[in-house]
Structures are given as C-alpha cells and as structure tokens.
Amino acid sequence: MSEAVWITLITAIATIITVYLEKGRRDSKAVRYEVQHIKRDAQVAREQTTNTHESNLRDDLDAKHDETMRRFNAQDEHNEKVLKALGGLDRSDKQQWTIINELRRQRRKGWFT
C-alpha cells in the first residue's frame, strides 16, 4: 500500500474515532443532566414525604376510623330506641282509636243517653 492510502486510512479511522468520542461525550453530558434532574426531584419528593409530625399517620387514621365507627354505632342504637318508641306510639294510637270507635258504636246503640 502506498503512503497516501495509509494516510487516508489513518485519517478516516481518526475521524470516525473522533466523531464516536464526541457523540459519547454529548450523550454522557445529557445523561449527567438527566441524573441531576432526577436527583433534585428525588430530594424534593423525599422532603415532601418525610414524617415531620409526632404521631404515625396510620395510627391517626385508625383512631379517626374507630371514633367514626363508635359514633355510627351510637347513632344506630339511638335510631333503634326511636323506632321502638314510635312503634309504641303507633300501638297506643291504634288502641286509642279502637276505644274511640267502640265508644261511638256503643253510643249509636243507645248505651249512653
């Protein structure tokens, strides 16, 4: 091979290597940029999710749920008492109307003058 071919071949290989290295440098710069953004976002997320209060959120929610259930149960018991009382009033009302109707019937028959 002639000297000119060797020079051309070496120049071509050097150009390919230079282009490849430059592309790798740009790619690694983009990767570093993305990693920096991911790191910053992770730090923000960590700060937002850090438990900074005295009690555990799960314990707080469990306590609230238990209190709500106690109130529902108390309301159910109250509702049962009210319904029972209304049933008693309904029976009492029916008994009163039965007595009134019986008195009307007796009056029509002339038992009361």
Which residue range forms the structural domain that includes residue 86?
81-113
Give domain status of residue 9, yes or no. yes
Rounded to whole angstroms, how far apart are CA atoms 52 and 12? 62
The residue with greater pLDDT, 72 or 33, is 72
Residue-wise pLDDT tens digits, 26-59: 778 888 888 898 999 888 888 777 767 777 888 8
Q: Is residue 62 in a domain?
A: no
Does residue 10 lie within any of the structural domains?
yes
**Pairwise CA distance, residues 22 & 19, whole Å:** 5
- The predicted pLDDT at position 65 comes to 95
